[in-house]
A = this chain, B = another copy of it.
Amino acid sequence: MEEGGAVLQNSRSDKHLIGGGEGRRHEEFEGNDNSVLRVVETLLRLFPIVLSVTALIIMLKNSEENEHGSVSYTDLSAFRYLVQANGICAGYSLFSVVFVALPRLSSMPRNWTFFLLDQVLTYLILAAGAASMEVLYLAEKGNAATTWSSACGAFGPFCHKVTASIAITFVAVICYVFLSLISSYKLFTKYDAPDITNISKAVHIAAFHA
């Protein structure tokens, strides 16, 4: 029982050490984590700006007029949706890269916002790419059952540009798949933080009652 004072004193110096060690360790971890992750994330947010704007411009300028008639991207709903999705994707990527590149500490509301928006954007451009690819497939092959003729026979250059635009969009989709993984990693690894505090609190309480 005469060791009580020493225990109390020791537990107090321990507390100081625990606090300091935890803080440093966390800073180091966050530092390494942030420097590598921030570079990868910034690049993954920069690429889709270039990709989406390119896919957008190719599709916007895509119209053809010949002896068979005229066709433009506005005639097909899937291609209009692809242009809109690429526009939203480019805008959001530009907006988000500014926030990510800033060397400020990330907050939970910001992590949640990016996490949710990254997920939505991934699904949005994937759906646009899939729908457009299906229309392109129908335009190239035609369909006997529905008596839809192959439109790419008559509008070859139009179809080539559509193919290019869709291919570029799918590269942007791949970027967004990785971005949504990174943002979910950044969000959910933060969710153990309260648990660490609880454990170190439990250590102090245990030391006090020893």
Contact = CB atoms under 8 A, between A and B. Distances in A.
Given A10-B3, A13-B210, A14-B207, A75 B144 contact: yes
Nearest to A78: B134
Contacts of A88: none
Nearest to A188: B188
Interface stretch (A41-49, A51-59, A93-101, A147-155): A147-155
Q: Is the interface of A mostly helix, strand, loop or mixed?
A: helix
Given A6-B10, A123-B177, A127-B127, A21 B206 contact: yes
Interface residues of A, number: 66
Q: How many copies does the complex hold?
A: 2
A146 interface: yes
Interface in A151-210: 151, 177, 181, 184-185, 187-189, 191-193, 195-196, 198-200, 202-203, 206-207, 210
B6 A210 contact: no
Contacts of A25: 195, 198-199, 202
Nearest to A191: B189
A92 interface: no
A117 to B, nearest CB: 14
A72 B145 contact: yes
A86 interface: no
Closest 4 A-B residue pairs measured CB to CB? A75-B145, A192-B192, A188-B188, A131-B134
